[in-house]
Structure 1
């Protein structure tokens, strides 16, 4: 089979067509629950019990609203996010947007690789060995597979994140006290606001917007498949927040109840927080599976997104459907990012402080990311597909409140700290 996929026979059967559409939404949402998000949710449960649980539910429709716009833009225009910004607003604004993407991807990549290194340390594997195996494996996969192959691998490793649902279920928390505490929101506390901002940044990230728009283009989705692509995105939004909530509940029920001020400075300490209900061996194994799935799928997504984003603005080929000889810059940037990230993480990085800080940075970048997304949805789409009328006003309100709250909470938490 050539590197340019033949798509015609894929859409011949309705059921086959429906399942063929599913993928970009689930992949980006599983990547959304990355190592940094798991760390943020764990810190939230340990420090504040269930008081940040309601936020996880509130973010489901917000996440869907944001990512549905990227699906619509990708399918209708057939262009990536950076390409559209360059075409509509000029290369200066495109570089501004890609600059936010680069910051987000760099921070996320270091966090994901640190998460995998931490999992290795749980079982006595040195950081450098974990990085060597992971980085070489991912480079080999991307250089030899098409978009469909990479997507299938990402879905397979991301499925391990469901281990967190089992962990939360095994804590057997009474629903009444959980719901009551989730409504006790200390908005006046800077520490709470800082973690609230981190949770917002952990759910809505710049690289998600770029990745899903490029993914639906790479996959060749058509306008008549927009409905199924939206369903794919909606399912993913629910799944990712269920996983976030599960990590929060598990840590709130364990370390958050017995010792809420205990340090969570390493992956090992977070893993130990989950062992009281599951036992040492089972708890560590389930945490390792969940964290590995989260970090691995996000590593794939953020490294590809960074290479794609630069390619979209600079104009070189930037698709997995191109052979490495056809797109040397794309594959070269992807490889360089992974190698440099792996080398840095092998040296030693504080996973927890880095992970939470990166999510807060994402919250600070939201006004730029969501602003461009809204403008494109208003001006780059034709006719009835354009964001308009009451729904446009509603989306503007949601984006403004989300970005404003994330920015305010982050600044308040940083200034007071």
Structure 2
């Protein structure tokens, strides 16, 4: 059977093109609003009110440019981020990054599964720990049994669940004048807690797992189109790059919009009534008497959907990173017996997260250490990404635009500054 090659074919325009373009960028962006992210946004909103609403305006373009650069790596080189990094750096160094990513993702999955279990318990559906295992094992089974295009379709529709958080924000009837003021007139943080919260918001939004997942999904998309050989996946047409840009900017806009409305909801309920929260369970429990049953149901139901979207992304990104680094057979289009090592990492990440919850690990500490590892890893990966996407040979003569590289460089500097702040402030 002949390999499919890239060519410019006539495609629909307008709304049809927009809907057809939505894919990896939408699901990757939406996966960033996982239960642990919801917890972070809720805690910051409860503590500082509307003070950090402006961050959503800053993190959206930064996140979009980073994700688009990762997408370009996959579309142009025909490899995922791990494979591309291996072309420029020693295998052992890329391997260390893969191990760090797995560690951070495992902690993140533990927090996500715990949040999903708590949501089900609050909805009177049974013990939280039971649902931790139901979801952990269930996600592994689906990843093994479903082919890539089936799983991608499921994830795409799950992204719509996050609309629940936008609806919830309107139910709490915020003061829109204050919202507009604090959104468009930034206020710099004050004190240790303020700066630490700002670092947490950036670390939660621009996360390393998104880098690997976005690039690898481009490879999966090409394979699904019949481009199974590396040579047939190299290079991308201007139309393909334009469609993905539309996809990525839409997905990241949606992600940051959800972040904005979760901060807003927490500000006008928890903060307004002096409620201090440390976990997403605290936030959901406090929300019911303050905003009513509908807001509570939307908030907790959204947690489950967000987790179902995020956990395959977290586990999958670690599996891709290892497989691309060590030349394993990989891909969600592969049967289990043909990609044992790839699926083994996926299962280790998901089941390992569930085991953390069995031992009743403090969710606040889990999130903290996940943020620390991500905070250390992310800026170094961004530097690696800059070197890759500026390499004309590796990028097949299609390097990232200079403007994008400047933006990613600025993002890396911000995150290095955040890392320095974490060390200086002592966490």
Q: What TM-score does the superposition give when structure 2 sets the normalisation length?
A: 0.88
Task: Quickly say closer, same or farther: Cα 1:412–1:131, change in 2 above 3 A.
Answer: same
Instruction: Identify the residue that residue 273 of structure 2 maps to in structure 1.
Output: 258
Instruction: Identify the residue that residue 233 of structure 1 maps to in structure 2.
Output: 248
Q: Distance in 2 between matches of 1:227 and 1:388?
A: 13
Q: Distance in 2 between matches of 1:231 and 1:172?
A: 32
- Residues 187 and 193, structure 1, Cα contact 8 Å, conserved in 2: yes
Task: Quickly say closer, same or farther: Cα 1:46–1:360, change in 2 above 3 A.
Answer: farther
Report how far residue 200 of structure 1 moved. Answer: 0.3
Matched, 1:208 2:210: yes
- Residues 83 and 313, structure 1, Cα contact 8 Å, conserved in 2: yes
Q: Distance in 2 between matches of 1:265 and 1:164?
A: 19
Name which of 348, 362, 366 aligns with 2:378: 366
Unaligned 5+ segments in structure 2 are: 226-235
Map Cα deviations across residues 212-257 of structure 1 (whole Å, 9 max, x no partner). 0000111117534111011100001110001011110001001111
Q: Distance in 1 between matches of 2:365 and 2:188?
A: 22
Aligned residue pair count? 407
Q: Secondary structure at the match of 1:14?
A: coil
Instruction: Identify the residue that residue 161 of structure 2 maps to in structure 1.
Output: 160
Matched, 1:14 2:2: no
Map Cα deviations across residues 336-368 of structure 1 (whole Å, 9 max, x no partner). 322222132133233344335423442232221
Map Cα deviations across residues 80-115 of structure 1 (whole Å, 9 max, x no partner). 111111122221231133233223312221121111
Instruction: Identify the residue that residue 347 of structure 1 maps to in structure 2.
Output: 359
Name which of 391, 397, 401 aligns with 2:413: 401
Report how far residue 122 of structure 1 moved. Answer: 1.0
Q: Distance in 2 between matches of 1:48 and 1:34?
A: 21
Where does 1:136-215 land on structure 2 (aligned, <5 Å)? 136-182=137-183, 183=185, 185-215=187-217
Where does 1:329-348 land on structure 2 (aligned, <5 Å)? 329-348=341-360
Q: Distance in 2 between matches of 1:317 and 1:128?
A: 34
Q: Distance in 2 between matches of 1:210 and 1:247?
A: 26
Q: Distance in 2 between matches of 1:52 and 1:358?
A: 21
CA RMSD of aligned residues (A): 2.6
Report how far residue 159 of structure 1 moved. Answer: 1.7
Unaligned 5+ segments in structure 1 are: none
Q: Distance in 1 between matches of 2:321 and 2:128?
A: 29
Q: Secondary structure at the match of 2:335?
A: coil
Instruction: Identify the residue that residue 29 of structure 1 maps to in structure 2.
Output: 29
Instruction: Identify the residue that residue 330 of structure 2 maps to in structure 1.
Output: 318
- Residues 98 and 310, structure 1, Cα contact 8 Å, conserved in 2: yes
Instruction: Identify the residue that residue 395 of structure 2 maps to in structure 1.
Output: 381
Instruction: Identify the residue that residue 288 of structure 1 maps to in structure 2.
Output: 300
Report how far residue 54 of structure 1 moved. Answer: 0.6
Map Cα deviations across residues 127-180 of structure 1 (whole Å, 9 max, x no partner). 332023212321221111111111111122232111000011122222222233
- Structure 1 window deviating more from structure 2 (343-352 vs 302-311): it is 343-352
Report how far residue 315 of structure 1 moved. Answer: 0.9
Q: Distance in 2 between matches of 1:244 and 1:116?
A: 18
- Residues 117 and 131, structure 2, Cα contact 8 Å, conserved in 1: yes
Q: Distance in 1 between matches of 2:105 and 2:254?
A: 22
Task: Quickly say closer, same or farther: Cα 1:110–1:13, change in 2 above 3 A.
Answer: farther
Q: What TM-score does the superposition give when structure 1 sets the normalisation length?
A: 0.90
Report how far residue 393 of structure 1 moved. Answer: 6.0
Map Cα deviations across residues 290-313 of structure 1 (whole Å, 9 max, x no partner). 111221211010111111111111
